[in-house]
Structure 1
Amino acid sequence: MAEDISNDSAGAVDTPSIAPDSQRPPPVLASEALRDELAPHQPAAKPTRIWLVCVALSLASLGFAQRHGVGALSQTADSSALSFLFAASLAATALLPFPYGLRAGVTTLIGLAVMGVGLAGAGPLAGLAMDGGLSGDLARLLAITTLPAALLFRAHYRAYRRARVLLGIAFALSLPFAALQGVVLLDISVSGVVRIAAGVNAVAVACSLFGFVGGQTTGAGAVWAALVLGVPAIDIAARELSPLAGPDVGILAYPTTAVGLVCASIAASVGLFQLAALAFAADARNQSLNTEESK
């Protein structure tokens, strides 16, 4: 009798406990994992915060340079103060625990604000209007805001049909900028540096057409977005090597303007991309799920 009890006790110890079904974590289905890959809920949330800190540091450095006389002579006296203000605003947006949508909206507004005061000859983009031509400046700003945002959206939602529609709209909005760059390229009265830069700008816009490839790939959207963000800024910086530069426009006026342009375009385009993600993520996820169920 005692032996039977001891055997029962041993068996009770050796028997593994089984958790009730209510305590088990739900299994991760392959279709759910694929849907998260094809249609992420909040794409690039953490990397964006890192990028915003980098942009804020760049704007603060630019403000420091402006305070010591570097930049366009046409800039207003409060340009450096505005640069510091925008830097602090972006840093707070990146570091404070804002919701995804609120951070995206504030980031977009800050980027557009930098562009707006730049057209007025103030802030980090104070030298934007040095060469005149408001229509050309507006076309440039429109292209480097909408096209990178659409390319990033296309890269993160490659199976979503509306991603190509948004890319098509952004490409159409970028055509005036590409056409103006083509005119500069063909103008033999313009310096060689400016003409080459204009040609590269037009090519950068054309490369976004790779985003219309099949939904099985990202179309290298992030690569083309970086190209569209960087090349127009390099174009402005390269003018420092052309006859346009000189003591009458300011010390390193074009390179400082290029830095401000990159900062403003990153903030505006990345914020716009995340706003688009917030608006279409649910529909993209439903579409990806329906696509998987129909296979």
Structure 2
Amino acid sequence: MSAEPPPVASGGAVPAEQHAGSGPGVTAEEMPPSAPREKITKPLLASEALMEDLAPIRPGQDAARIWCAAVGAGFLILGGLSIAGLRPDGVIAGPPAFVLGLVALFAALTSVSYRQRAIAMVVLGAIATLLGLRSTGSASDIGWGAARAVAATALPAALVFRSRYRAYTGARWLLVAAFLVSLPSFGEAVARLALLDPHLGQLGALMVVVAVLSSLTGFMGAETTGAGAFLAVTVVLAFTADLIIGGLAQLGHFSARDVASVLVGALAFAATAAITSLGLFQILAWRLAADARRINLHSPPSDKDGPDRRPPSGGEWLT
């Protein structure tokens, strides 16, 4: 007798054992595994993105590495020129330049913390400034040179900080302090314009006055950056141009060696001011970023920015 087929359950359903084994070559062991569950990451909230824009944690970290590498290479080149006797300071200026260059490259290429690199940049800039002032000459020249270096460092750092932390009230107080320490250099430039006869050196003084006065845009409202980053570069370039024009105006005759000496000195001043101001900005950011992030992103707009809620006048009732 032939084997009878297994009974079919009511409703025409086939038993699970028969259904699983009925397919050709498909068994329970060969069923495809379930797909792995995707890892769900937390989405970036709009408030978090706005907070990072208004008060970043470590701004300019990559720029600091680039500036350290560039300034380090520049110091090594200056040291080589001094050893070769192509700089007016002679061979004695070579070893300090080599040391500063190696330290700057070390800060650029090693994995140091944000704060440590910022402090190293400020220390490097201060040492380079002192070395440059030592070869200036008279005490009066050293004093005005120091005032120029302080202004070209403090004001750009405050402008960049104001630009990156525009909603932080303390940024404007830092800008006030930067203007105060820049007053000696600014006053000297104004005095050259007002008291001296017109000559080539006054062009640099005019550029300094215009750059410093343009920095007053940093006191605008929190809705704008006040062009802080652009004005910071402008201030450094203005003081550098003043140094170049003043140096060229003092030359009795324009020899290639003297002109090159003026240009190299001005370039070293610009690089030193830039790396020092960037380091000072990062120290301020490291110290004040947590305080700057204590802002209310959901605060209602002020009355001056909102719609006019005054009751209409008598004439407006008729319209």
What TM-score do you get using the length of structure 1 for normalisation? 0.84
- Within a 5 Å distance, the mapping from 1:184-223 to structure 2 comes to 184-189=192-197, 192-223=199-230
More deviation, 174-183/24-33: 24-33
2:306 is aligned to: none
1:114 aligns with 2:104: no
Alpha-carbon contact 1:239-1:254 (below 8 Å) kept? no
The equivalent position to 2:283 in structure 1, one of 256, 275, 281, is: 275
Query: Which residue number corresponds to residue 264 of structure 2?
Result: 256
> 1:30/1:58 Cα in 2 relative to 1: closer, same or farther (>3 Å)?
same
Q: Please say which structure displays the higher CA radius of gyration.
A: 2
Query: Out of 63, 81, 85, which is 2:95 matched to?
Result: 81
Equivalent position of 2:292 in the other structure: 284
Is 1:170 the counterpart of 2:175? The answer is no
Q: Is the 8 A contact 1:155 1:221 kept in 2?
A: yes
Cα distance change of structure 1 residues 166 and 157 upon mapping to structure 2, 3 Å threshold: same
Task: Give deviations 1:265-290, integer Å, cap 9, x for gaps.
Answer: 11211100000000001111122xxx
Q: Quick one: percent identity of the two aligned structures?
A: 31
- Partners of 1:152 and 1:273 within 8 A in 2: yes
Q: How many residues align?
A: 276
SS of the residue corresponding to residue 297 of structure 2 reads: helix
Q: Which amino acid aligns with 2:156?
A: P
For residues 15-48 of structure 1, the C-alpha deviation after alignment (integer angstroms, 9 at most, x for no partner) is 87656xxx53222211111111111100010122
Contact 2:58 2:286 in 1 (8 A): yes
| Pair 169,240 (structure 1): closer, same or farther in 2 beyond 3 Å | closer
Q: Supply the AA of the counterpart residue of 1:257.
A: G
Whichever residue aligns with residue 117 of structure 2, its letter is R
Question: CA shift at 1:101, angstroms?
Answer: 0.4
Offset, 1:50: 1.0
- Which runs of 5 or more residues in structure 2 are unaligned? 1-14, 301-319
Match of 1:67 in 2: 83
RMSD over aligned Cα, in angstroms? 2.6
For residue 159 of structure 1, the aligned residue among 148, 161, 167 is 167
CA 1:244 to 1:185, structure 2 compared with 1: closer, same or farther past 3 Å? farther
Which residue in 1 is equivalent to 2:60? 44
SS at match of 2:59: coil
Q: Residue 244 in 1 paired to residue 258 in 2?
A: no
Q: Which amino acid letter does the alignment assign opposite residue 96 of structure 1?
A: T
State which drifts further: 147-156 or 54-63. 54-63
Whether contact under 8 Å (2:82, 2:92) holds in the other structure is no
